[in-house]
Amino acid sequence: MDMRISKSKFVAGVQCLKRLYLQVHQPELAAEPDGATEAIMEQGREVGRLARQLFPGGVEVRSDRGLDDAIRTTRELVANREVPAIFEAAFEHDGVVVRVDVLHRRADGRWRLIEVKSSASKKEEHLDDVAIQYRVLSRCGLDVGSCCLAHVNRSYVFRGDSVDPWRFFRIRNVTRQVARLQPKLTFQELRGFWQHGQWKLAVTRVN
């Protein structure tokens, strides 16, 4: 059984262990997305594509060739100093898999991690999201100099022409908040332990 845990499942576990367990072991219990949910998901994808316009020359890591290929491609792009930004960069550490919305190469050679959200404000779960990405990237040896959250600017007014991404987004630096979360994030994988035919996982955020 593949015991890799995605970022979304990790965050689910931070919020509710039962939710994580069901996502991993009984995904068939999850309700099929309805029209409204699909619309929200598509909106999120559109916002993500718009955010990429802030980083001309950025390269997307394809996902249709499998995770291992995505991780290998990410390593190659990180090593290529001609690449200014990477979209959907893939990393794995200790069984936890993350895809980064935007990984921006700073002028000083360090990296800026940017999580893009279609909401109009910063939320607590967004910080958990960024925190686990930072944990995985740093454990993979990447020098992450800053962490940011890009969300919709609620004061932006559409003028009927093309959307201006520089005004559409508000980018918040959450580096310090993410750093404070690091000691509180714990990931435990009980590999090799089989009980009653099911793997046991524990993902907790310690208060």
DSSP 8-state secondary structure symbol assigned to residue 121: S
> 31-65: string of b/e by CB count within 10 Å (b at 16+)?
eeeeeeeeeeeeeeeebbebbbebbeebbebeeee
Distance CA 3, CA 198 (A): 12
Query: Strand pairing of 111-116 and 144-152?
Result: parallel
Q: What percent of the chain has pLDDT over 70?
A: 69
Among the ranges given (70-79, 83-92, 166-175, 190-199), the one the predictor scored with the smallest mean pLDDT: 190-199
Distance CA 96, CA 155 (A): 36
What domains lie within the chain, and their CATH numbers? 5-205 (3.90.320)
Distance CA 176, CA 142 (A): 18
Q: Span 181-192, mean pLDDT?
A: 57
Residue 120 confidence (pLDDT) = 86
Are the CB atoms for 131 and 178 separated by under 8 Å? Answer: yes
Are the CB atoms for 85 and 59 separated by under 8 Å? Answer: yes
Residue 54 confidence (pLDDT) = 97
121-134 per-position pLDDT tens digit: 888 888 988 998 99
* Nearest CA-CA partner of 113 in 97, 125, 129: 129
Q: Span 67-88, mean pLDDT?
A: 97
140-157 per-position pLDDT tens digit: 999 999 999 999 999 988
97-110 per-position pLDDT tens digit: 899 999 999 999 99
Are the CB atoms for 54 and 47 separated by under 8 Å? Answer: no
Among the ranges given (14-18, 77-81, 88-92, 118-122), the one the predictor scored with the smallest mean pLDDT: 14-18
Are the CB atoms for 101 and 48 separated by under 8 Å? Answer: yes
Q: Span 40-44, mean pLDDT?
A: 68
